[in-house]
């Protein structure tokens, strides 16, 4: 058990540090703190395993995390897009130099699939400048979509955001001026991320919001999902 805890915490810690180097925020900080706690527990497992209330608490936390992760994935894989929305928002993710990351690439392919079925929708690409990028996520996404044939004038860049909540608030500020009478919108992001994307869209005032998911690369899903569980719990506790 001790070896399993140690190996799991080390692998997740490495992945979280890798994510932190690309995009630092409170969710990463929360995840790092949790993983450090797991690592410390693993180091002193022989002594701590005798404290039953601690072990029951940790077991309950682990089971709750599994429930949250399952909820996020089930929610995210149920698409509700009608392909008649006025606006598509593609949420940003890591960019390395000028290259979109694999998970972000899948979001963009989902956006192209949606565009093929609803070519009249405005596409908002939202994401700021990451620590390992030389251009904003919005610029990288815009270039990708244009290279695939999406007209430049149909793409709106929002390049200041560094969190999902900022994606929505900053994009909403742009769209309210374009659609004074209101608009419908579909959120495009990876399956694990759909819940928060839709929740934040509603929080900033988008009443008619749907979603269209992109799959997540299997090798990166565990790390992304672990971080997302922390972010969802934070959302439920703090409201953002």
Say whether both 71 and 98 belong to one domain. no
Query: Measured between alpha carbons, how far is 91 from 193 in angstroms, rounded to an integer?
Result: 9
The single residue listed with the structure tokens 């996020």 is: 72
Looking at the fold, whether 53 and 109 belong to one and the same domain comes out as no
Tens of pLDDT, residue by residue over 88-136, are: 999 999 999 999 999 999 999 999 999 999 999 999 999 999 888 999 9
What is the count of structural domains for the chain?
2
Q: Which residues of the chain have pLDDT under 70?
A: 1-52, 54-55, 58
Q: Is residue 222 part of a domain?
A: no
Separation between Cα atoms, residue 195 and residue 192, nearest integer Å? 7
Residue 48 has, within 13 A of its CA and on its CB side, a CA count of: 17
User: What is residue 3's predicted lDDT score, i.e. its pLDDT?
Assistant: 56
Say how far apart CA 203 and CA 173 lie, in whole Å.
Answer: 13
Q: The domain that contains 171 carries what CATH number?
A: 3.40.50.620
Q: Which domain holds residue 178?
A: 87-217
Query: What's the predicted TM-score (pTM) here?
Result: 0.81
Residue 151 lies in a domain: yes
Is residue 82 assigned to a domain? no
**CB distance 111 to 211 below 8 Å:** no
Predicted confidence at residue 21, as pLDDT, reads 47
Q: Which two tokens stand for residue 122?
A: 């405005």
Least Cα distance to 135 among 109, 166, 100 occurs for 100
| 108, burial (CB in 10 Å: exposed 0-12, middle 13-18, buried 19+) | buried
Q: Are 72 and 92 contained in the same domain?
A: no
**Residue 150, CA distances (Å) to 131, 137, 172, 211 in order:** 28, 17, 22, 20
The answer on 96 and 34 residing in a single domain is no
């Amino acid at each position: 058990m001790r070896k399993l805890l140690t190996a799991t915490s080390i692998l997740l810690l490495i992945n979280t540090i890798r994510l932190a180097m690309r995009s630092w925020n409170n969710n990463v900080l929360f995840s790092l703190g949790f993983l450090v706690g797991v690592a410390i527990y693993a180091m002193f497992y022989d002594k701590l395993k005798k404290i039953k209330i601690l072990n029951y608490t940790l077991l309950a936390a682990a089971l709750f995390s599994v429930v949250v992760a399952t909820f996020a994935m089930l929610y995210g894989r149920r698409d509700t897009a009608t392909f008649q929305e006025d606006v598509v928002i593609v949420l940003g993710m890591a960019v390395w130099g000028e290259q979109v990351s694999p998970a972000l690439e899948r979001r963009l392919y989902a956006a192209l699939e949606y565009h093929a079925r609803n070519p009249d929708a405005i596409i908002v690409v939202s994401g700021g400048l990451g620590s390992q990028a030389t251009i904003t996520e919005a610029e990288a996404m815009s270039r990708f979509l244009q290279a695939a044939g999406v007209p430049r004038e149909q793409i709106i860049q929002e390049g200041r955001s560094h969190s999902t909540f900022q994606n929505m608030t900053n994009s909403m500020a742009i769209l309210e001026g374009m659609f004074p009478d209101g608009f419908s919108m579909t959120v495009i992001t990876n399956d694990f991320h759909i819940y928060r994307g839709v929740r934040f869209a509603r929080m900033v005032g988008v009443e008619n919001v749907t979603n269209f998911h992109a799959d997540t690369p299997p090798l990166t899903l565990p790390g992304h999902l672990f971080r997302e569980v922390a972010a969802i719990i934070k959302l439920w506790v703090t409201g953002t």
